[in-house]
Amino acid sequence: MCYGDDARPPQPPNPGPVGSHGPVVLESGDGTSFGGYFAHPAAGPSARGIVIFPDVRGLHVFYQEFARSFAAAGLSALAFDYFGRTTDLGSSRGEDFSYREHVDQLDFDSVRADGSTAAAWLRANGSETLFTVGFCFGGAMSWRQAAAGDDLRGSIGFYGIPSRVANVTDQIASPLQILAAGQDFTPVAEVEQFADRVRGHGVDVRMTVYPDAGHSFFDRNFGQHQADVEDAWRQMLSFIDDKA
């Protein structure tokens, strides 16, 4: 997993006040109910929205707070859980959650469908231009969503594994942002090859490598990576500004 119970997302630059936020129950196209967590800026739902794809633990508290961080940056945000088909809505996603047995049952097509449901929820609640962002497993799923036909303006991924995107790489239609850790277990060269393949289809790909950072560096408790964290926020918000 990417983040333990003590991990917390860093705040964006110049954060503003957060408005309404809290849990929501979503329903996918196959009738599955699954959990989500939304947050809006204090001014109300934003025309810009972002779907958050968590790591393998699903809707962990890190991602609930991350939704509020994006709201503080001026976007409406919705993080969603992957496991509506294999466990109940109320079960904890803390460190005692046996996520592996549920990840083993995950189907990428179901994740895509649930991501599309989350995107539709944001649109129904005022967001006109949509992005996605994800971490580790969710980073790859965020990139995959760029091939889902959701009319996204861009998909952002931290620490994604390109092999998880291989069968839809040539279908990616919206811009990607890749934020890679130089000391991650996924070789940077592999991620660069993925980026070049997507660019070969005329899709804009922005890639930033943080040479000294390891997996999960985007955590406000990792003080040694503060400069990288601040830059990652700048990169994300610049990407969103440019593509919105």
Q: In this structure, are strands 48-53 and 33-41 parallel, antiparallel, or unpaired?
A: unpaired
Q: For 26-243, which CATH class? A: alpha beta
pLDDT at 99 over 80: no
Q: Residue 91: its pLDDT value, please?
A: 64
Beta bridge mates, 224: none
28-73 pLDDT, tens per residue? Answer: 999 989 999 999 999 999 999 999 999 988 888 899 999 999 999 9
* One-letter amino acid for residue 215 of the chain: H
Q: Residue 189: its pLDDT value, please?
A: 97
119-145 pLDDT, tens per residue? Answer: 999 999 999 999 999 999 999 999 999
* Residues making up the chain, counted from first to last: 244
pLDDT at 218 over 90: no
What residue segments make up the domains of the chain, in order of their start? 26-243
Q: Tokens at residue 43, please?
A: 């001014």
Instruction: Please state whether 183 falls in left (phi above 0), alpha (psi between -120 and 50) or beta.
Output: alpha
Q: In this structure, are strands 76-80 and 33-41 parallel, antiparallel, or unpaired?
A: antiparallel
Q: Residue 154: its pLDDT value, please?
A: 98
